[in-house]
Amino acid sequence: MKLSIITVNLNNIEGLKNTLESVRKQTYKEFEYIVIDGASTDGSVELIKNSPIVDSWISEKDTGVYEAMNKGIEKASGDYLLFLNSGDLLFSNNVIEAVIPKLISEAIIYGDIQFVEQDGETLDTYYFPENLSFKYFFHQSLGHPSTFIRKDLFEKYGKYETNYKIVADWVFFTRVIIKEQVSTKHITDVISIFYMDGMSSDPKNRDTIETERKTFLEKEFSLFHHDYVQYFKLEDRLTKLENNQKRLQSSKGFRLLKALGVKKFNE
C-alpha cells in the first residue's frame, strides 16, 4: 500500500511554506509527495524546486483548483490519495504514521478536522459522523484534507468535474458514496488543520455553492432533491415553533398562564 499526498498551490507562498514544513516533519516518510502549481509568480516555484521532500511537481496554468487536483491524480502512483492543499497542515508530526495501518481496504477513509480562522484563532474540531447519508450530504461534505480516497475510484467513476467551480469535491463524494455506495470508514484521528480562507469558506461564494449543489442534485437525485427540499422546509418550521414554545415555557408569562389553569400549547 502506498500513499500519495497532493498539494495544489497558486500564489500562496506563505501557506505553501507551512504545508511543506508540515509534510516534512512527518515521522512516517514512505509516501509520495506531489505539488501542482498554477504558474505562480510569487516565488512558490523556486520554493517547490528547492524542496527535498517533493517527489514530483509541475507549474503551469490551469482553469481552477479542480483541474489542478485532477493533474495530481494523474501523476499519483499511490493506492490512496490525500489532498492537502496549500495552507492546510497535518494535525501532528505522527498523524500519517498513525493512519497508515488503517488504510486497508475501504474506498474512502475519513478522519476528523480542525478549523482555524485566517488570523490563527482555532474555531473547533469537527468530528464527522460514523455513518454517511443523503441527508448528511444535502447539507455538508467530507473534508478533503482529512479524507483518504482510493485512487481506483477516480479511474472507475471519473475525476473531479471542472464545470463545478467550488463544489466538485462534494459532487464526487456524494456521487460515489450515496449513488454508487462505495465502502467508507470513519477513523477517530484528527488528520489536518484547515484554514478558513479558501473559496468554499468565502461568504461571497455562498450563492454559487448553492447553485452548483442544486444543479447536481436536480440532475442526479431529482426525486430525492424535491422531497428533501420540502422536508427541510418543514423541519425548519417545526424547529422554529419548538424554539418559540421553549422560550414561552421558560417565561414568567407562561408560568402565570399555567397558574391560571391554561393548558400547554402542545396538549
Whose cell is 424535491? That residue is 226
Q: For the chain, what are the domain ranges?
A: 3-201, 224-259
Instruction: Supply the pLDDT for residue 148.
Output: 98
* pLDDT (tens digit per residue) in 55-69: 999 999 999 999 999
Residues of the chain with pLDDT under 70: 1, 118-122, 197-204, 223-267
Q: What pLDDT does residue 116 have?
A: 87
> Model confidence over 187-236: pLDDT tens digits?
999 999 998 765 554 556 778 888 898 889 888 887 665 565 555 555 56
Q: Which CATH class is domain 3-201?
A: alpha beta
SS3 (DSSP) at 191 = strand
The pLDDT, as a whole number, for residue 254 is 52
- Residues 217, 223: Cα–Cα separation, whole Å: 9
Predicted confidence at residue 56, as pLDDT, reads 97
What is the Cα gyration radius of the chain? 22
Query: What's the burial of 147, exposed, middle or buried (CB within 10 Å: 0-12/13-18/19+)?
Result: buried
- The number of angstroms, rounded, from the C-alpha of 186 to the middle of its chain's C-alpha atoms is 14
| Predicted pLDDT at 250 | 57
Stretch (H or E) spanning 127: none
Q: How far is the C-alpha of 236 from the C-alpha of 263, rounded, in Å?
A: 25
